[in-house]
Amino acid sequence: MRTIKKYPNRRLYDTEISRYITLDDVRKLVVNGIDIRVTDVKTEEDLTRNILLQIISEQEHEGKPIFNTPMLTQLIRFYGNSYQSAFSEYLQKSLEMFAAQQQNLQKKFEQAVGSNPFAATMSEMTEQNMEAWRQLQNSFFKSAGSAGSDPDKKE
């Protein structure tokens, strides 16, 4: 865990390398898989979420955003209602599953390129991904109080 201190002048100090860093430097640490913890130098309050949200906000402003207006609107609607906790867990599990699938895809690609480029079939991986998403959605809807119906099932 990399500790970063935030000073009142809004400067960030990386305690591991003993120097001030920018918000972009923090973004690079995160992208490179380094866990960070940002604390206020005076109060020792954990500011990690605030800094990460600031990085996301800057990334959304530059280039092509991940969060479109309808998505952000729906996110805001989840705050404070009974589904907030269930949605938070669903979103976390979805991101974890997506990251795991990306790693799995990368491994299969590397194996295929190393031996036979046709070894890993895309349809096989697509089927696995679809089944995993169905299971995750059913779990979310069940925890949110719905029956968790299968969208492919005819009623």
Q: For 98-148, how does the pLDDT look when each residue is reduced to its tens digit (9 = 90+)?
A: 988 988 888 887 777 666 555 556 667 777 777 877 887 777 777 766 544
Task: Look at the block and give the residue holding tokens 């599990």.
Answer: 93
**CA pair distance 22, 29, nearest whole angstrom:** 11
- C-alpha 131/C-alpha 154 separation (Å) is 17
Helix H or strand E encompassing 102: helix 84-114
Q: What is the pTM of this model?
A: 0.66
Dist CA 45 CA 80 (whole Å): 24
Mean of the pLDDT values across residues 78-85? 88
* Selected residue with higher pLDDT from 64 and 147: 64
pLDDT at res. 145: 65
CB 23 within 8 A of CB 54: yes
Task: Tell me which residue of 99, 100, 119 sits closest to 110, measured CA to CA.
Answer: 119
User: With left for phi above 0 and alpha for psi between -120 and 50, is residue 44 left, alpha or beta?
Assistant: left
Burial of 82 (0-12, 13-18, 19+ CB in 10 A): exposed
